[in-house]
Amino acid sequence: MARVRQAVIPVAGLGTRFLPATKVVPKELLPIVDKPTLQYVVEEAFASGIEHVVLIQGRGKSAIEDHFDTSYELEDTLDKRGKSAEAEMLRKISRLGQISSVRQKVALGLGHAVLSAKAVIRDEPFAVLLGDDLYRTAPDKRPGIGQLMDAFAETGLGQVALMTVPKDEIHKYGAAEGASEGPHRFRISALVEKPPKGTEKTDKAVVGRYVLPPDIWAILEATKPGKGGEIQLTDALDVLRERQGLMGVIVDGRRVDAGDKLGFLEANLLEALGRPELKDGTVALMRQLIAEAERA
């Protein structure tokens, strides 16, 4: 079975939930403490064994490309000012791995964004990581997408990341019906994009990581616009499931949706609490803010 070597990261959405911040800056470049969201996602891909990342770009393309490119003048200035640790940190970003980009000219939906990578990825299985979705995993665990790559190596079937959510929140997600096959494996029997409230049949939500066989290209090409007039990846995945089966991986880790306002705040607080130099200050600040909010 072909190994998963390449990853597609769509970053061409309009980011309407973060306007006006995303008027000029793509939401995937908004920082979680001091590092752009997208850098965490790209690092997760390379740490999982991906060799080539394909970014699906829309507006703000040059800022994203510049972030992962060498910045000779800045590095040189930092070196001259004795800030060699900072200069080295920047050099490491440009050496993370091979990154290419493809343009999605119009944001017609996630399915359409993934399809834009067809000519680059071609005839091999590939990973998809959403550029605003973060997975925090323990240091001794495989990163989020790595867990899906392992599951694909076991079965050869397409894999989607799943998260258990309260049933009354499933209407916000792609919903996966099916049955558990062990603590982290789930056989999917139906996929529904954002099921209307009251129709929910599952508490398993599809979240931001996928490993897909190349058969998905023909399916995406035939997928008509669905919910919201967008070409939905979920609709194409349901056809893939019907034709060859589809598995879910309940990822061992914590997923945070940094493309949502509260999720973005959560991601920042979690990252700050995970850094020794910021932990105590963050806890003190949170305590103070909670006390103030309760008095108000």
Q: Can residue 130 be called a binding residue for ligand UTP (CB under 6 A)?
A: yes
| Contacting residue, 48, 101, 104, 202, with ligand UTP by CB under 6 A | 104
Strands (E) in 213-283, as ranges, are 246-250, 254-257
Q: Which residues of 30-63 are buried (b: 16+ CB within 10 A; e: fewer)?
A: bebeeebbbbbbbbbbbbbbbebbbbbbbbbeee
Residue whose CB is less far from ligand UTP, 11 or 160: 11
Q: Can residue 113 be called a binding residue for ligand UTP (CB under 6 A)?
A: yes
Q: Can residue 11 be called a binding residue for ligand UTP (CB under 6 A)?
A: yes
Q: Looking at residue 165, what DSSP letter applies?
A: -
Q: Can residue 12 be called a binding residue for ligand UTP (CB under 6 A)?
A: yes
Residue whose CB is less far from ligand UTP, 117 or 176: 117
Q: Can residue 56 be called a binding residue for ligand UTP (CB under 6 A)?
A: yes
Q: Can residue 175 be called a binding residue for ligand UTP (CB under 6 A)?
A: no
| Contacting residue, 36, 87, 121, 132, with ligand UTP by CB under 6 A | 132
Q: Report phi then psi at 190, rounded to 5.
A: -165, 150
| Nearest residue to 243 (alpha-carbon basis) of 216, 267, 223 | 216
Residue whose CB is less far from ligand UTP, 56 or 175: 56
Q: Can residue 194 be called a binding residue for ligand UTP (CB under 6 A)?
A: no
Residue whose CB is less far from ligand UTP, 32 or 110: 110
Give the 3-state secondary structure of residue 78: helix
Element (H, E) at 41: helix 37-47
Tokens encoding 241: 């499931």
Can you tell me the distance from the alpha carbon of 4 to that of 49, in angstroms, rounded to the nearest whole number?
8
| Footprint of ligand UTP on 253-272 (CB under 6 A) | 259
Residue whose CB is less far from ligand UTP, 6 or 282: 6
Residue whose CB is less far from ligand UTP, 132 or 238: 132
Can you tell me the distance from the alpha carbon of 99 to that of 52, in angstroms, rounded to the nearest whole number?
6
Q: Can residue 53 be called a binding residue for ligand UTP (CB under 6 A)?
A: no
Can you tell me the distance from the alpha carbon of 49 to that of 207, in angstroms, rounded to the nearest whole number?
20
Q: Residue 209 Cβ, how far from ligand UTP at the closest point, in Å? A: 12
Query: Do residues 272 and 150 lie in contact, with contact meaning Cβ atoms separated by under 8 Å?
Result: no
| Contacting residue, 4, 6, 8, 15, with ligand UTP by CB under 6 A | 15
Binding-site ranges for ligand UTP (CB under 6 A):
10-17, 28, 56, 104, 107-110, 112-113, 130-132, 259
